């Protein structure tokens, strides 16, 4: 299992923005065993899938002008502002 960082930027074009956003979030929620939306469009997901597999699953919901990156997240890492609960979870999954 790996912890992946998924971050995306959906460009607000037309009325399908909410539908697209909901589809991306639903896809991310289906990917791993644990997940946390740590910032508005940035997630950490614990999964057995590769970065390319995750990218391909989410990419089908994106337009050509949207952006996304999927990275393996691991220690060492640094953060600020997530409180005790968030910090405890980050320490657990970023090995």
Structure tokens given for 53: 């597999």
Question: Could you count the other beta carbons within 10 Å of the beta carbon of residue 95?
Answer: 10
What residue ranges do the domains of the chain occupy? 2-93
Q: Alpha-carbon distance 85 to 95, whole Å?
A: 17
Is the pLDDT at 15 greater than 70? The verdict is: no
pLDDT digits (tens, 9 = 90+) for 33-59: 899 999 999 999 999 999 999 999 999
Identify the pLDDT of residue 14: 60
**Global confidence as pTM:** 0.92
Structure tokens given for 33: 């065993």
According to the CATH classification, is domain 2-93 in 3.40.190.10? no
């Amino acid at each position: 299992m790996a912890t992946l960082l998924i971050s995306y930027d959906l460009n607000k074009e037309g009325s399908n923005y909410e539908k697209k956003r909901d589809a991306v979030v639903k896809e991310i929620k289906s990917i791993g065993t644990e997940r946390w939306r740590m910032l508005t469009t940035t997630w950490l997901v614990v999964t057995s899938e590769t970065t390319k597999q995750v990218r391909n699953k989410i990419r089908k919901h994106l337009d050509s002008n949207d952006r996304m990156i999927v990275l393996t997240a691991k220690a060492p890492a640094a953060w600020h502002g997530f409180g005790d609960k968030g910090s405890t979870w980050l320490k657990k999954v970023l090995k």
